[in-house]
Structure 1
Amino acid sequence: MSNMHNFDSVPAEGNKAIVFQNLKTKLSGSQADLAEVYQFLIPEFRIGTLDALVVISDELVKYDQFVESVAWKIVDILRILLKGDKDKICANLLVNDKSIDQYLNTFQWDIMKFRAEKSLKEIAEILNEEVSSIDTLMKAKLANYNQVKGNLQALERKQTGNLSVRNLADVVKKEHFVLDSEYLETLLVAVPRHSWHSRYETLTQYVVPRSSQKIAEDDEYGLFNVTLFKRVSTDFANRCREEKFVYRDFKYNEDEMANQRKEFEEMGATEKELWSALLRLANTNFGEVFAAWIHFKAMRVYVESVLRYGLPPDFIEILNNQYGKFGGALSRETQKDENIEEYQNLIDKDYYPYVWFQIQFNVNKIASS
């Protein structure tokens, strides 16, 4: 995918085909391999008054910037979903089932959605409303996905942390506990790497001697059970904390453990479903937003061309030596390249004697953002 495309408009001077072919020869001919040149076809819009054109010109700039920002938001969503894989991201950046380059090089105004007989203001508002709706939808879907993903990650941390924090449902077994006793209960304690067996019996009274065994261990902790009288359970838990042992508030309940496993599995399945749905939505809506962006570019080319060259709108959408005469009020003083450059510095660095817009969609930004 190319990084840069320019939209240029110059006067047709009576014959669009001849002017286009001349420009193409000069820019991409055998003796001047400067750029690939394609014709950018734009319908003739309802122009209205000069004041209306000036107003819509300013509005189109704002719409243009907004739509570009929405396009990049969707790219960011794809980057998150596809973990920054540039090839996979680019494979999802399609417009009408075409790559960005193909779409731009074969652009045609969508006459079914945006009929040219409507005013420029009406078309711009329809486009903007469509993109705003997509932006709102994508924000809501992303927020929903992030919430589920966050919940799943919290459950995963409980499954994968050390023995002081992780879920113990898959670690302990029924035989590790004294169950259904009126007076006794079994507690679990995560113990750092120092002596436990010589100390646990003396932490409180009424601890059953030799009732503790190591159930599991990791690089930081050993997990032990201990059986004692229920009436000293709270005191025992407090003494564990004072000794820097980690009391695990865990009750053996097979139904609850089964529910926890089910919750984890269901959360994982939900996250995968939302991931797939959001990926499809991002793919589809990127194409919609990018197409809207280029339609705004087309309107800007048209409006600025009419403002620059006047009526009737006799120009083609395809540089300083050839078109310096169209440079505006100072055209007589800007016939040479160096004079045009001086005029650019005085007025606007992006001033040219032809209408010119640029679109940059940098692939490297996708991977690094």
Structure 2
Amino acid sequence: MASRYWVVSLPVQNSPTSLWNRLQEQISKHSFDTPLYRFNIPNLRVGTLDSLLALSDELLKSNSFVEGVSHKIRRQIEDLERVSGVESSSLTVDGVPVDSYLTRFVWDEAKYPTMSPLREIVRVAEYNNVRSQLNAINRKQSGSLAVRDLSSLVKPEDIITSEHLVTLLAIVPKYSQKDWLANYETLTNYVVPRSSKLLYEDNEYALYTVTLFGRVADNFRTAAREKGFQIRDFEYSSEAQESRKQELDRLVHDQDNLRSSLLQWCYTSYGEVFSSWMHFCAVRVFAESILRYGLPPSFLACVLAPSAKGEKKVRSILEEFCDSTHSTFWKSEEEVGPMAGLGGDADAHPYVSFTINLI
């Protein structure tokens, strides 16, 4: 399927049917590789010109929001499928593939123009919150010794705590281990000789213990820092260790449950959001066509999927269906500025046009 479509409307001079037939003929003759579809829009309530101008502004903002939600849910589904290792399923809207829903669009009278609220989007935030907590724990468990949780590396017998003695944990750059072993006993008074023991090494650092009198611990920290050694605050607690393990198990369990329910919700919600997005597009085409071509509403809306190399030719074909007055006005650089936002495209055209990116 194509991932990029144009939604355009052309002014009708005689009848929509004859214009459609002529457009099909020209596209078939000069750009046969460009799929072309009717975009069926009901006869909506027009309102005043002022209300249409205000609506055009609001639709552009709301369309951007709904489009963003659509893409966010799609990316969320892809992320969940990748993490879960499940086979990717094709996204659907009302049971049909998303590209088919766009190219065979039919206005849903039962649901719109009243928009269904996107309430359960909060589930995404809940899942991401649990996942971020897990990522933080994983970073602490697998990061470098300078930042990771040390509780899994230190055993009760490694720590001496008495009325006068304490054991500190030193993070030593691997290239400075000889310097540490040669100097730690003299960084301050009252360091227990030969008390430093290597507990663990990673690619950058080594974890050493050192035992000394508690009353000189602050002096030792300061002297160690000046030498480029980091003293990590650590207090061994079997209760805290067990609590951390239980918290990790709970988060893993919560993430698995949330991932499963979120993936199911995303599949359902993607269809609802995509449907909302296409109805937004229909209202945009209607409102902007009236602002462009005037009243009463008389325009032909269609969807095209030109190839990159065929875009220029298709633009030329579409322009031929607009009278010279429209073409001159919309090509005028001075005149384009304030009106360019109506179509939603950076380039101005003598017809309503904006782009839909499905991915």
CA distance in 1, matches of 2:189, 2:165: 13
Partner of 2:229: 245
Q: Structure 2 length as normaliser, TM-score?
A: 0.71
**Given the alignment of the two structures, is residue 98 of structure 1 paired with residue 93 of structure 2, yes or no?**
no
Shift of 1:255: 1.3
Aligned to 1:111: 109
SS in structure 2 at match of 1:6 = strand
For structure 1, the residue ranges without an aligned partner over 5 or more in a row are: 115-122, 328-333, 364-369
C-alpha deviation, 1:105, in angstroms: 1.4
What CA distance in whole angstroms lies between the structure 1 residues aligned with 2:285 and 2:186?
Answer: 86
**1:40 equivalenced with 2:51 (yes/no):** no
**Structure with the greater alpha carbon radius of gyration:** 1
Mapping of residues 1-369 of structure 1, within 5 Å: 1-11=2-12, 13=14, 20-28=20-28, 33=32, 35-47=34-46, 52-74=47-69, 75-76=71-72, 78-79=74-75, 82=78, 94-114=92-112, 123=113, 126-127=114-115, 130=116, 133-134=117-118, 138=121, 144-178=126-160, 181-192=162-173, 193=176, 194-271=178-255, 273-274=257-258, 280-303=264-287, 308=293, 310-311=295-296, 316-318=300-302, 323=321, 327=323, 334=324, 341-346=327-332, 348=336, 350=348, 352=350, 356-361=352-357, 363=359
Task: Give CA-to-partner distance per residue, 1:170-227, whole Å, 9 cap, x none.
Answer: 2122332336x44443322222323333333333444333333211222333222233
Residue 230 of structure 2 aligns with an amino acid whose one-letter code is V
- Which structure ranks higher in relative contact order (CA pairs < 8 Å, sequence separation ≥ 6)? 2
Letter in 1 for 2:61: F
Percent sequence identity is 31
What's the CA shift string for 1:148-175, capped at 9, x where partnerless?
4444333333222322332112212233
Residue-by-residue CA offset, 1:233-288 (whole Å, 9 max, x unaligned): 34433433343322122122111112223333434444555555555555544433
Provide the aligned C-alpha RMSD in A: 4.0
Change (3 A) 1:101 1:220: closer
Q: What residue identity is the alignment partner of 1:68?
A: N
Question: CA–CA distance in 1 between the matches of 2:39 and 2:125?
Answer: 38
Task: Give 3-state SS (helix, strand or coil) of 2:8's partner.
Answer: strand
The answer as to whether partners of 2:77 and 2:266 remain within 8 angstroms in 1 is: no
Aligned length: 323
Which residue does the alignment assign to 2:343?
A: none
Residues 110, 182 of structure 1: alpha-carbon distance in 2 compared, 3 angstrom cutoff: same
- CA 220–270 in structure 1, closer or farther in 2 if over 3 Å, else same: same
Q: TM (normalized to structure 1)?
A: 0.69
